[in-house]
Amino acid sequence: DAGVIQSPRHEVTEMGQEVTLRCKPISGHDYLFWYRQTMMRGLELLIYFNNNVPIDDSGMPEDRFSAKMPNASFSTLKIQPSEPRDSAVYFCASSLDLHRDRQYEQYFGPGTRLTVT
Amino acid sequence: AQSVAQPEDQVNVAEGNPLTVKCTYSVSGNPYLFWYVQYPNRGLQFLLKYITGDNLVKGSYGFEAEFNKSQTSFHLKKPSALVSDSALYFCAVRDYGNNRLAFGKGNQVVVIP
């Protein structure tokens, strides 16, 4: 398996522009997580999905952020409009069903480094 | 809510010496505990986990961790550190019945040749 795939790996955009980050989870995984990593705040969970349904979006910072999972193999995180304080590394992670498979670890993608100027 | 604390910002160790990275946790129920490692410009990689059973768990790359319920700790250890172990290490905890992982702030490990 190729692991969790994220694109793009790097994104540089100007303030006010729309940014879309993409993620392909590991095939067969039921859960998908979006995280943001910054020096100041460390690793923060933004939102997670179970079987394509958003379960907990309490970590989404504000209405400028939105996430979708139209099918089991694809998810997007969109920021509109982007601001310089959104600059961070955004990670996608996936995992199996936490109780059915008793496999609780999450597998992370390589991340997208976003810079908003 | 569950949380973890990694008290040290950076751990320096000479190559060949034992490596310990500390983690303490706080949960309302039984803890599920994890260690992850992050190399520069990479995503987090799973190292090991404690769910139940033996308090000493072994993981990838020669790492192990000891679960201590009375001290609410889950310290990561390696008997002999390698230069290639230099990376950022994260401890994480999940409450039973909760699908969220709470990560610590991370510890930078520097192994000196």
pLDDT-derived band of residue B28, with 50, 70 and 90 as boundaries?
confident
Please provide the DSSP assignment of chain A as one string. Answer: ----EEE-SEEEE-TT--EEEEEEPPTT--EEEEEEEETTTEEEEEEEEETTEEEE-TT--STTEEEEEEETTEEEEEESS--GGG-EEEEEEEE--TTTS-----EE---EEEEE-
Give yes or no for B51 touching A (CB within 8 A): yes
At residue B75, the pLDDT reads 97
Nearest CA in chain A to B95: A104
Burial letters A19-52, b for 16+ CB under 10 A, else e: bebbbbbbeebbbbbbbbbeeeeebebbbbbbee
Query: Residues 60..99 of B with a Cβ closer than 8 Å to A: which?
Result: 90, 94, 99
Q: Splitting chain A (117 residues) into consecutive groups of 10 residues, what average pLDDT does each group show?
A: 91 97 95 93 92 92 94 97 96 83 82 97
pLDDT-derived band of residue B4, with 50, 70 and 90 as boundaries?
very high
Centre a 10 Å sphere on the Cβ of residue A103 and count the other Cβ atoms it contains. Answer: 15
Query: Residue B23 and residue A99: Cα distance in Å, rounded?
Result: 25
At residue B25, the pLDDT reads 95
Would the CB atoms of B43 and A105 count as touching at under 8 Å?
no
CA distance A108 to chain B (A): 6
